Structure 1
Amino acid sequence: MAAKLPEQLTLDRITTPVGELLLVTDGDGAVRALDFDDFEGRLMQLLTRHYGPVVLTPGRAPATVRAAIDAYFAGDRSALDGVAVRTGGTAFQRQVWAALRAIPAGETRSYGQLAAAIDRPKAVRAVGLANGANPVGIIVPCHRVIGANGTLTGYAGGLARKKWLLAHEGATLI
């Protein structure tokens, strides 16, 4: 069952070094979705899955959210830590997404480590699926999850962007 639809969702577009971001916020200024403009269809699919049919009104996100995103891309690795996020999703998905936010910038975790962090060590595949269904990329840093052997694994925004984001945060990659 879809969560209650917010009264209004605003779609902002922000230029970054890795492409234009689509930023969806609600009337309270909480981020509901964040994705790259070349994946707008996926963004709409995730929003629809969580809330049912949605209409996005073009506009600007709150200045504090825009400033945090700009600061992150300017090198402040902790700038996104305080950004309010409000998502749909199942209780399990929200638990995984909360665990993603607990991974410090510059660090990575495997899917197994993430599953262990939520006390569900055998739910590695389910954690992977929840990670892939994250509607708020970068702020909920699903890019910080890598393969058990330390290699880059899939990323909805593309592996080149994942590699860039991890290098930007100072993560050591194989």
Structure 2
Amino acid sequence: MIATGLSVTYYTSPVGVLEIKSSGEAIHAILFVNAWKGPKLDEDEMRGNANSETVKACTTQLDEYFEGKRREFDFPFDQDGTAFQQKIWSALLDIPFGRTISYLELSKRTGNVKAIRAVGTTNGKNQLCIVVPCHRVIGSNGSLVGYGGDLWRKKWLLDHEAKYAHGVQELGDW
């Protein structure tokens, strides 16, 4: 089902501004705003459209995640995609907080080792950054590859999760 009439809220995070799109019933997108072109917004303006309980739950849970107090998200979220895409995004939710897997392993877990490129493409089309943890998928050799939010954000998120999951300050140089 394609969501229409979405409201937009902006959220300031340690990895930059996030744009949250909501139908009021569910969150349909959480995207990095890489090049904010609007005026500098204060906190009230950023959360000005956060009038639904769903958006409030989303921003509260994001706060908790960045504070190291939350490992999974339970507010209603949904993104449009094919059956294959939904399967891949669902598999991403099974990657434990503070852990990583390779694109190859993700393609194996979803039943088709030969679909590694399609898995990578689908991972890149994830519209719910952080919540559907596509940042936890890395190259087979352990390298950070393929992150739409820029590799510095992927490293930051992985370091953040490692710190709270394992007491590790940084994952090290990639």
Q: TM-score, normalised by structure 1?
A: 0.81
| Contact 1:81/1:101, CA 8 A, preserved across alignment | no
The one-letter code of the counterpart of 1:65 is C
Question: Which consecutive unaligned segments of at least 5 residues does structure 1 have?
Answer: 41-57
Secondary structure of 1:166's partner?
helix
Question: Which consecutive unaligned segments of at least 5 residues does structure 2 have?
Answer: 37-47, 164-170
Deviations 1:7-52 (A, max 9, x none): x311111111110110111121x11001111268xxxxxxxxxxxx
Asked which structure has the greater CA Rg, the reply is 2
CA distance in 1, matches of 2:114, 2:58: 36
Deviations 1:66-117 (A, max 9, x none): 1101100111241x43132211111101110000111111000100111111
Alignment partner of 1:5 is 2:7: no
Alignment partner of 1:169 is 2:161: yes
Structure 1 residue ranges (4+ consecutive) displaced by more than 2 angstroms after TM superposition:
3-6, 171-174
What is the match of residue 99 of structure 1? 91
| Contact 1:147/1:153, CA 8 A, preserved across alignment | yes
CA distance in 2, matches of 1:81, 1:121: 28
How does 1:125-140 map onto structure 2 within 5 Å? 125-140=117-132
Report percent identity of matched pairs.
41
| 1:59 aligns with one of 26, 37, 49 | 49
CA distance in 2, matches of 1:83, 1:143: 20
CA distance in 2, matches of 1:102, 1:135: 17
How does 1:60-139 map onto structure 2 within 5 Å? 60=50, 62-78=55-71, 80-139=72-131
Alignment partner of 1:32 is 2:28: yes
Aligned length: 152
CA distance in 1, matches of 2:140, 2:21: 32
CA distance in 2, matches of 1:133, 1:124: 14
| 1:15 aligns with one of 5, 12, 16 | 12
The one-letter code of the counterpart of 1:68 is Q
CA distance in 1, matches of 2:159, 2:15: 12
Choose between structure 1 and 2 for higher RCO, CA contacts under 8 A separated by at least 6 residues: 1
CA distance in 2, matches of 1:98, 1:134: 11
CA distance in 1, matches of 2:141, 2:29: 30
